Structure 1
Amino acid sequence: MKKQNFFYPFFLMVIVPGIFLGIIYLLGYSQTLNRKLSDSFFHLLPSHHKLSNDIVIIDIDEQSIAKYADHPELGQWPWKRNIYPTLIGYTKLITRPKITIIDIMFTERSDYDDALVAANINLGEISHAANFRDGGIVIPRKNEEDLSEKFNVPLPLEIPFPKYENVSFPIGEIGETSPMIHVVNVIPDGDGILRRFTPFIRWKNRHFPTVAVQAFVTGLPYKTEWKDGRFWIERGEIKREIPLGKDGLVRAYFYTEKELRNIPRYSAAGIIESLNQLNTGEVEDPEKLLVPPSLFDNKIVLIGTSAASTHDDVVTPHGLFPGVIGQAVFASNLIEGHMLRELPEIYGVGFTLFILFIGVLVLFINQWHLLKNLYPIFAVSLFVGVFYFLYRMDMVIASSSFVIAFPISYLLGFAYLTYTEGKEKRKYNSILRNLVDPGVVSEALEDMDSLKKGGEWEITAFFSDVAGFSSISEELSASDLARLLNEYLSAMTKILKSNSGTLDKYIGDAIVGIFGAPIQNQDHPRLACKTALEMLVEIENLRTHWQEKNDYTESARNMAFRIGLNCGPAKVGFMGTDSLASYTMMGDTVNLAARLEAAAKDYGASILVSESIESVCKEEFHFRFLDWIRVKGKEAPVKIFSLVCYLSDLSPTMLEAEKKYEEGFQFYLNREWEKAINSFEKVLEIYGQRDVASKLLIERCKSLFKNPPPVDWDGVFTRTSK
């Protein structure tokens, strides 16, 4: 490229995206975008840390609140405070936990404070909660200064820990006798998501530890060090650096959603019941209790709440969780050293500008055209590789600059390249676009004016799509991909047309067809079912042929597709211009067929049909009931079936399995989750663990067992995606 022309691509591909990034930074959005994007990458990348095994939770959950709502010693929430010494004492019946951290505040007086005072004095290793806040009416308490002096951790004021105006310590003698206190404040980011925590919080130039620090030090003596902008906590032989940000917060490693849900949590109701069993002699061996006391041996015990009525929820990168779960994550981070260091944003910007500059050279200096197409893949792969490498080292590079700037840069570069070098290509492209005109059956051309006006009558809409075709296409060269599509589409279209079906369009690898138009045919549902089954046979023949020739890739040779069928009224017509037109269909009937094709993946079905198909074709074909669903954009529930085979090909094994499945589904509708799961597991035994639909319903039952549906639940599953 001539020197004078190099300025324009450089300006478009480097300067313009750089200006755009600068605007985002000045508006203050870049940091939020960085954290949101990093959350997404963390979900996609493999987890490399495990949550600490030292942490257990005593959970005042929905079961505990409901079970003891009318109990004379507890009552409705908030519970009377004499229950907490019972919970704490139970953990120390046989062995002792390292520390008990209470994530519940006792900042107001009650008639049962003496019980907690006695627990503080007699049970030891207890840390009580303090809460800090800004604004509001300040009501000085007489022991406030004494407590702040007692629990103050001397730290340099230059450390940028969060500061608050007001404090609420544990009330009266609870605070005075408390062996330890911790601050329960959590500080969400600007988008409301809790990603970071602080080890200490400041009030009146005094510092107080948070839950994470108390869990780390477990009541033992510890030291802190602040040097050259770096902060350490040292307990015994363990010295832990905390990578503080400029605001005194550190990015937490939030593990996986599965790990958060599997943190050992023991219901307070279970502990109370276990204690009753022990006191009444119903169970003599403590290890056979509902919650054995040995579970708390040498553990860090957090006492918190998850019941909705306690209003202690936080939004984490994995969604809504009880606040005590967030505290457990922070505690585990500090205990195990899993904290993330957020690198300065300039690192991400510098990496991005380097990639953009290389992109200019690839597009406008490089003469190897393949490299121009491969460079985006290389650049994205390099970014993901760098991000993951740093992530494995517990560092986070700012990603918004690359995610935003690189697509803009490369699109602008290609646009400019097309403008300067593609005039001849655009000329031929314009000609070819006007030559593309999908054909319909010859009868459709006899009355063109009538067809262009359109009409509405009963048809069967047919949608098919290749499963995982994106992955297949990435594995093949352009020529092989074109050859594979031609073989597949030709074979399937031949079957479609041989059964009086009309090809509406191709959408990549997807086939859209119409039965019953433009030539009206009352037999259209049966013909559509026949077509779908013949296509299953044909794809098996193609797979065999490809295997024998060892053609394409392994994924391509094992290619499978999904089909959605639905019949009903639809608008059909020959639509377009005199030079370019196509026969097509529109309406709810068509939309539902498309949704059924997409839903087939969830149930492992090759052919998914609506009740309207099943009701008119069940005398010739065998259909298996799967579910009631509510598809996106449609409120009315839909009963869905899998088209299995002709009735003549039906086997006793199929009937046995389907009978068990329908039995399980009835239990599911009756909210008898365990019976439903048992029935679906028997279906899996019959099918040899291959039945996707049964596995789906088992997982759904388990989820509903943990989180029961509302009273007006009708058993219909709502799909949120198309």
Structure 2
Amino acid sequence: MALWKARKLSWSRLSGFLLVFALLTLRIVDPIFVERLRLQAFDQFQRLNPREIAPFPVAILDIDDRSLSEVGQWPWPRTTIAELTDRVFQEGAAAMAYDIVFSEPDRLSPNAIAADNPGISSEIRSQLMQLPSNDTVLAQSFSRNRVVLGETSVRSGLQASGVEREIQKVPHAIIGPDPRPYMLKFPELVQNLPILNEAAPGRGVFTVLPDADGIYRRVPIVMMVEGALRLSLSLELLRIATGGDAFAVRTNDAGIDGVVVAGQVIKTQGDGTVWTRFSASSSNRFVSAADLLQGKVPQNRLAGHLVLVGTSAIGLEDFRATPLGVPMAGVEIHAQLLENVLAGTLLKRENIADGKELLTAAAMTILVIALAPMLHAGVLIISTLVLVSAYGIYSYLMFLWQSQLVDPTFPIVATMLTVMLMSSTNYLREERRRNRIRNAFGQYVTPALVAQLADSMDALKLGGERRDLSVLFSDVRGFTTISEEFRDDPQGLTKLMNEMLTVMSEPILKSGGTIDKFMGDAVMAFWNAPLETKDHPRASCRAALEMVRAVEEFNRNRMANQVGKEPVHPIHMGVAVNSGPCFVGNMGSNSRFDYTALGDTVNVASRLEGQTKHYGMSIIIGERTAQIVDGEFALLELDLIRVKGKHEPERIFGLMGGERLAGSDEFKTLSATSAEMLTAYRTGQWQKALELIAAMERQAARLDLDLHDYCALFSGRIARQSELPEDPDWDGIFDASEK
């Protein structure tokens, strides 16, 4: 069976394989929207479980808003920077790095002041020119301390103009193949003043590039700038703090494998970047520069620390978007990188991670393609949800337990898209199967039943259910006379009957009814099966009224289109509706059966239809139907009748019209007169009953209602009853002797 399905559904699987091939190709190309989805999943992992804030020997000397307010606007004189540097090491810091570039001479140096102010006296100018420049003072501070200068990269146009510059080298070694083809390359280096550059023991690049969505997740710790290898600012700070030995770049066939600094290997991506695992921003990392200059820093606060100098001042705009969803000062990103290196908590993503995830996605989607045609939709959906949930949990646990970044998005999205495609092809296959059933059964049974059979082949089994239905029977009166018109034209009679039954059927179908069967010129229909109809008594009454109206319109058209001199006999019909419990389902033998309804409700409806001619009514409804629709339709109680085959009497009602007629004062008067007449009739007040019958005929005439036959029926009954001796058991119940 499974093999048959595999052969039969090869086109479905082929479409699945084509989709998988397209998805895998898309992942290899890795457009921005695919990458962004993956990165956002990694961000969500960090938000769910950010790195814990723990004490590390890393501090940020913060040029904050208070420092600018108390020390002065930026840039500060280089002598102030020198004082700041010296104080850091007086506090016992191991090393410090500036997330700042001093690329231009200090305009507040004595010689600059002398040159820019021609109005000062020559004596003062001479004295100023003899003083050392602020940059010299700062260089002297750098030369006696372990200081790392920050460098950055921008497009300044220096190379384009042919200016030759010397880039100071940082001692390094290479272990393995040449790493330069894999490294990030920055076009030009913005260096510090030569006097500062030569005095400082170290120099590192603080340029950090955001991902395509503007979020800073990865930091290059080794890179190429104008052909020179550079460490990032944080790693260079660590190198200088531990003695300033050369760093090493370790490579393999997949690219850069790691960087060796201070005797430890820091694993990297193939391009020399690392993924920072962020913790929330913490004020414990920061020391205000104003506090340091004013001697307010607690003792040992900076002792043994790696100090990064940067700014969190709002006006200096050094804030960056982070995976945690909140911006951080750029210097804090460098501090967090340094904490990750010291604690060994950097996030890891293998160089072959993309290949592994491609294989995982291929395996998951192929599994779906293999199983989908053989599983029911519910089982397929549940199985897929279990599969993708398990993979998502695995990805998150790898992040928690091993700090590994495993992309949950592409394999899950690829699997879900494959399931959607396979489900769609299954749906189309089922639709074709349903259409075959509709074509096979549509000419024999009702559209509603065909739809039910198409939805479930189980519906073809014998059996049924108990359900409340509204059952309608209709029949054409005087069909024999009509048949005589066509004694020499049987085709014409067939055409007339088909047209008439179509006219009678349309109101039933439009109101949601099911046509059970045609019995010559009669119709049986019911509501609330196989499809549920909550207001089925009202729907059946509306259909009955519309059937009578449609037949009257049909008669007018026949007469208007009359051909020849032969008279056209109008078609009259009787309709009965009864509501109540029935057994409905497929009834018959194993080889032939019908979807039909059985029960006392059906029998009573059939008997009531036979009484329509007797009572001179177009529509008669049973008591339960009347109780539900009373007030919404114009009803007249007709009689208390014991139909043939029944012991209990049934109160029957004439359905005279819709809500408009029911709400009119004239009909309310007629209804009251009718009720009073029945009371007089049932209590043996014959004369009063006759007077009320006469009043009913007058009132009905004003409403253009024909109650002549009904009134004549009761007048005849009263005439016969009044001639008989008084009967103490008289209860007014009529025993119908005919069906």
Counterparts in 2 of 1:334 and 1:55: CA distance versus 1, 3 Å: same
> For the Cα contact (< 8 Å) 2:152–2:205, is it kept in 1?
yes
Picking from 133, 153, 166, the partner of 2:172 is 153
Work out the CA distance in 2 between the residues paired with 1:120 and 1:426.
89
1:106: which partner in 2? 102
Work out the CA distance in 2 between the residues paired with 1:115 and 1:360.
73
1:353: which partner in 2? 362
Picking from 224, 230, 254, the partner of 2:277 is 254
1:268: which partner in 2? 289
Deviation at 1:433, TM superposition (A): 13
1:195: which partner in 2? 217
Work out the CA distance in 1 between the residues paired with 2:67 and 2:529.
71
SS at match of 2:420: helix
One-letter amino acid matched to 1:173: I
> For the Cα contact (< 8 Å) 1:135–1:165, is it kept in 2?
no
2:151 matches 1:130: yes
One-letter amino acid matched to 2:301: L
One-letter amino acid matched to 1:335: L
Work out the CA distance in 2 between the residues paired with 1:373 and 1:39.
26
Picking from 389, 392, 411, the partner of 1:402 is 411
Picking from 201, 207, 230, the partner of 1:179 is 201
> For the Cα contact (< 8 Å) 1:100–1:301, is it kept in 2?
yes
1:630: which partner in 2? none
Work out the CA distance in 2 between the residues paired with 1:427 and 1:184.
68
Picking from 302, 312, 317, the partner of 1:311 is 317
- Structure 2 counterparts to residues 42-57 of structure 1, below 5 A: 42-43=45-46, 45-47=48-50, 53-57=56-60
2:404 matches 1:383: no
Work out the CA distance in 2 between the residues paired with 1:412 and 1:33.
24
- Structure 2 counterparts to residues 304-703 of structure 1, below 5 A: 304-318=310-324, 319-339=326-346, 340-342=348-350, 343-366=352-375, 371-391=379-399, 392-421=401-430, 423=434
Picking from 63, 82, 87, the partner of 2:79 is 82
> For the Cα contact (< 8 Å) 2:206–2:233, is it kept in 1?
yes
One-letter amino acid matched to 1:84: I
2:186: which partner in 1? 164
> For the Cα contact (< 8 Å) 1:14–1:353, is it kept in 2?
no
SS at match of 1:190: coil
> For the Cα contact (< 8 Å) 2:148–2:237, is it kept in 1?
no
RMSD of aligned residue pairs (Cα, Å): 3.6
2:141: which partner in 1? 119
Q: Deviations over 1:119-167 (max 9, x none)?
A: 1133x1111111223452449999952x514x35354753422223322
Counterparts in 2 of 1:437 and 1:135: CA distance versus 1, 3 Å: farther
Runs of 5+ consecutive residues of structure 2 not aligned to the other structure: 110-133, 435-450, 457-511, 513-527, 537-658, 660-739
Picking from 250, 257, 274, the partner of 1:226 is 250
Counterparts in 2 of 1:118 and 1:44: CA distance versus 1, 3 Å: closer
Q: Deviations over 1:44-95 (max 9, x none)?
A: 5434666671211111122322x23xxxxx432222222223333333334x
> For the Cα contact (< 8 Å) 1:32–1:191, is it kept in 2?
no
Give identity over the alignment, percent: 16
Q: Deviations over 1:157-185 (max 9, x none)?
A: 53422223322221031111112111111
Deviation at 1:366, TM superposition (A): 4.3
Work out the CA distance in 1 between the residues paired with 2:533 and 2:276.
54
SS at match of 1:295: coil
2:308: which partner in 1? 302
Q: Deviations over 1:502-550 (max 9, x none)?
A: xxxxxxxxxxxxxxxxxxxxxxxxxxxxxxxxxxxxxxxxxxxxxxxxx
> For the Cα contact (< 8 Å) 1:196–1:251, is it kept in 2?
yes
Q: Deviations over 1:350-369 (max 9, x none)?
A: 111211222234432246x7
- Structure 2 counterparts to residues 54-73 of structure 1, below 5 A: 54-65=57-68, 67-68=69-70
One-letter amino acid matched to 1:239: Q
Counterparts in 2 of 1:115 and 1:219: CA distance versus 1, 3 Å: farther
Larger of the two Rg values belongs to structure? 2
> For the Cα contact (< 8 Å) 2:36–2:212, is it kept in 1?
no
1:519: which partner in 2? none
Work out the CA distance in 2 between the residues paired with 1:370 and 1:337.
46
TM-score, normalisation: structure 2: 0.50
Work out the CA distance in 1 between the residues paired with 2:47 and 2:98.
34
Work out the CA distance in 1 between the residues paired with 2:25 and 2:43.
23
Deviation at 1:437, TM superposition (A): 7.6
Deviation at 1:264, TM superposition (A): 1.2
SS at match of 1:97: coil
Work out the CA distance in 2 between the residues paired with 1:52 and 1:11.
58
Counterparts in 2 of 1:178 and 1:215: CA distance versus 1, 3 Å: closer
Deviation at 1:202, TM superposition (A): 1.8
> For the Cα contact (< 8 Å) 1:211–1:327, is it kept in 2?
yes
> For the Cα contact (< 8 Å) 1:230–1:241, is it kept in 2?
no
1:7: which partner in 2? 10
Deviation at 1:299, TM superposition (A): 1.1
Picking from 233, 243, 246, the partner of 1:211 is 233
Work out the CA distance in 1 between the residues paired with 2:201 and 2:355.
45
Deviation at 1:213, TM superposition (A): 1.2
SS at match of 2:215: coil
Work out the CA distance in 1 between the residues paired with 2:186 and 2:138.
27
2:265 matches 1:240: yes
One-letter amino acid matched to 1:372: L
Work out the CA distance in 1 between the residues paired with 2:535 and 2:52.
55
SS at match of 2:216: coil
